[in-house]
């Protein structure tokens, strides 16, 4: 293959763009699902355990954990989380548990959740949660095996 001036010029012009975008493309997925730095869509993760339902957190009541800001509906919930964040934080950093069991990450919605063996699992949608529920022990085992390698 013969390189012409046009080929060289094209490569020279493309190189800066590659240098700018390559680090983003190769960056690892963050440990916690956090849109705009807010973990799990701003849901109060303690409320899943105490209220048995998703509850929106208050932006004035927060805690920092694993590089993300977590919102809570009450100071009591925030304090419970701060005392033992691993107990309340969703498994797999709040990414879709089903997706992690399949070897990738996906966002979640507050309505698609389950608590299994006192651990919170979130899913992409209620439809995906239905798939997750078909074999919860199998999906947990697969997700545990994939986590945290799916973040790379």
Both tokens assigned to 26: 């190769």
Both tokens assigned to 106: 């996906």
CA end-to-end span of the chain:
36
pLDDT in tens, the chain (152 residues): 444 444 444 444 444 443 433 333 446 899 999 999 999 999 999 999 999 999 999 999 999 999 999 999 999 999 999 999 999 999 999 999 999 999 999 999 999 999 999 999 999 999 999 999 999 999 999 999 999 999 99
Global pTM reads: 0.82
What is the CA angle 90-87-64, rounded to 5?
70
């Amino acid at each position: 293959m013969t390189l012409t001036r046009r080929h060289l010029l094209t490569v020279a012009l493309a190189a800066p763009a590659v240098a700018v975008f390559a680090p983003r493309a190769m960056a690892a997925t963050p440990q916690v699902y956090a849109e705009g730095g807010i973990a799990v869509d701003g849901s109060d993760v303690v409320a899943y355990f105490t209220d048995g339902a998703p509850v929106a957190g208050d932006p004035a009541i927060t805690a920092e954990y694993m590089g993300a800001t977590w919102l809570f509906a009450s100071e009591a919930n925030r304090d419970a989380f701060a005392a033992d964040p691993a107990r309340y934080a969703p498994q797999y950093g709040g990414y879709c548990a089903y997706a992690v069991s399949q070897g990738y990450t996906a966002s979640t919605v507050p309505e698609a959740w389950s608590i299994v063996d006192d651990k919170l699992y979130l899913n992409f949608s209620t439809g995906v949660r239905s798939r997750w529920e078909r074999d919860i022990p199998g999906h947990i085992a697969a997700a545990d095996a994939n986590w945290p390698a799916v973040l790379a």
